[in-house]
Amino acid sequence: MNQILENKHIKLFKKRKYITILCICFIFIIGIMLYFFFKKYNEKHISEISNITAKSYNIIHLYSNDINSDYIANNNHAMIIGTIKIPKINISYPIFSEYSEELLKISVCKLYGPDINTSGNLCIIGHNYNNDEFFSNLSTLQINDVIDIYDLKSNSMSYYLYERTEVEPDNLNYLNQDTHRYT
């Protein structure tokens, strides 16, 4: 008789253990789903802000009486200094004159270098979102693909991809302004 009672206690303990594990797994799955939902929502929100900024810039630039007028973004005192267009991957983004974490969520930014379309190495940075936004499709570019950079006067310069290199975050050699080797 004692064996029967012991088995009931063991079965009841096992049943509670499995229910507890099931509840923990359920909560974990719900947590993961909520994380990805909010991540996707945030990416969509950032994309909408970027599109609104680009449209606002295009409208202001189109109707501006002063062709050299600068566009101030979100009271950050960052100006849009031009546009980058890469036809192959169908992107067109305004380029901010400076960078910050907030501006990088909206569009691409100038990190270092001279003015747009002047001699020297201009470094433009932007996020690599995995949802086909900003620079996420750069890996599909191949040698000789075209990158167009437009300044505020709508002057454009076409650049051709001649080399693909992945640079470590602490490697600042790409900021080198020695342009004599390319002329």
Q: Which tokens sit at 123?
A: 């470094």
Choose among 163, 164, 161: nearest CA to 144.
161
Distance CA 170, CA 50 (A): 28
* Domain-embedded: residue 77: yes
Return the HEC string of 71-107.
Answer: EEECCCCEEEEEEEEEHHHCEEEEEECCCCHHHHHHC
Q: Which residue has the tokens 């990088």?
A: 104
13: domain CATH number is 2.40.260.10
Q: How many domains does the chain have?
A: 1
Write out pLDDT tens, residues 12-22.
Answer: 778 888 899 99
Q: What local confidence, expressed as pLDDT, does residue 29 receive?
A: 93
What's the domain range around 78?
1-178
* Domain-embedded: residue 183: no
Write out pLDDT tens, residues 88-116.
Answer: 988 888 888 888 888 887 888 888 888 88
Distance CA 115, CA 138 (A): 23
Mean pLDDT, rounded, of the chain: 76
Distance CA 70, CA 82 (A): 10
Q: What local confidence, expressed as pLDDT, does residue 27 receive?
A: 93
Q: Is the model more confident about 133 or about 97?
A: 97
Q: What local confidence, expressed as pLDDT, does residue 108 receive?
A: 87
Q: 5-9, 26-30, 89-93, 174-178: which has the minimum mean pLDDT?
A: 5-9
Judged against a pLDDT cut of 60, whether residue 68 lies above it is answered with: no
Q: Is 111 left (phi over 0), alpha (psi -120 to 50) or beta?
A: alpha
Choose among 96, 102, 69, 72: nearest CA to 84.
96
Q: What local confidence, expressed as pLDDT, does residue 42 receive?
A: 73
The enclosing H or E element of 157 equals strand 156-160
Burial of 57 (0-12, 13-18, 19+ CB in 10 A): buried
**Mean pLDDT, residues 139-167 taken together:** 87
Backbone angles phi, psi at 85, to 5 degrees: -130, 130
Partners of 146 in the beta sheet?
160
Q: 60-64, 126-130, 157-161: which has the minimum mean pLDDT?
A: 60-64
